[in-house]
Amino acid sequence: MERSERRSVLVVDDEPTIAEVVARYLDRAGYATAVAGDGPDALRLAAERRPDLVVLDLMLPGIDGLEVLRRLRERDGEPPAVILLTAKGERDDRIVGLRAGADDYVVKPFSPGELVARVEAVLRRVAPPGEPAEPLRFGALEIDGLARRVVAGGAEVALSQREFDLLWFLAGHPGQAFSRDQLLDRVWEPAFHGDTGTVTVHVRRLRAKIEPDPERPRHIQTVWGVGYRFQA
């Protein structure tokens, strides 16, 4: 992947092997990378380098990942996007992290290729300072996050605020399956107390508006026993 200006990524993990492998894959994908092994080092490098995105392990010595995330969000200027690295049993910490401002998370163990894909998806949704967010295009479907505008089959589609937020989130994570609970956590406000049927209703409305055949959806697909995923 070629970029006129390389986007920068800070990888924060106290396991050197994981950090080095992730950094190497990101470098091959065209990103400028730096590595930190603990919380204080992460905050120092983030202040010095002003990365576009931080890959942040939750379990860190010195200062844990959630505290690093909070401090990054409190700093002046444009904060970096953040992808959390979590263990399978850290669901509560993932929810706290997302509500504290993380953009995504990846559960260990993971493939480096998957993480690079998540980095690219997050950075597509987060515009660099002074640049507009690039619209997402999937064949005849175009989603413009800056204008909050959707075109399907050559015609503009009117979506509610929540319908757009749900579509924008799913389209920003192509191929990734999310449960209804996860979608409530990611798309609805933390204070929302509705049930998961709300997600089902919004998915049905979205399909009716953007899919050529809502009964056989091409983009917003059901993953039985899990929830939904967006197919590019």
Is pLDDT at 4 greater than 50 in this prediction? no
Contact 168, 187 (CB under 8 A): no
Residue burial 70-98, b: 16+ Cβ < 10 Å; e: rest = eebeeeeeebbbbbbbbeeebeebbbbbb
Q: What is the tens place of the pLDDT at every residue in 99-126?
A: 778 888 888 888 888 888 888 878 876 6
Whole-angstrom distance, CA of residue 227 vs CA of residue 80: 29
Whole-angstrom distance, CA of residue 216 vs CA of residue 18: 40
Looking at mean pLDDT, say which of 48-57, 85-94, 118-127 comes out highest: 48-57
Q: What is the tens place of the pLDDT at every residue in 152-206?
A: 999 999 988 889 989 998 998 888 898 988 888 778 755 455 678 889 999 999 9
- In whole numbers, what is the pLDDT of the chain averaged over residues? 85
User: Which stretch of 43-52, 62-71, 112-121, 182-191 has the lowest confidence by average pLDDT?
Assistant: 182-191
Please give the structure tokens belonging to residue 82.
């953040």
- Classify burial at 110, counting beta carbons within 10 Å of its beta carbon; exposed 0-12, middle 13-18, buried 19 or more: middle
Whole-angstrom distance, CA of residue 178 vs CA of residue 33: 29
Q: Which of 104, 96, 152 is nearest to 124 (CA)?
A: 104
Q: Identify the CATH assignment for 136-230 out of 1.10.357.10, 1.10.10.10, 1.10.1740.10, 3.40.50.300.
A: 1.10.10.10
Around Cβ 192, how many Cβ atoms within 10 Å?
10
Q: Identify the CATH assignment for 8-125 out of 2.130.10.10, 3.40.50.2300, 3.20.20.370, 3.40.50.300.
A: 3.40.50.2300
Please give the structure tokens belonging to residue 67.
């505290």
**pTM greater than 0.75:** no
Give me the residue spans of the domains in the chain: 8-125, 136-230
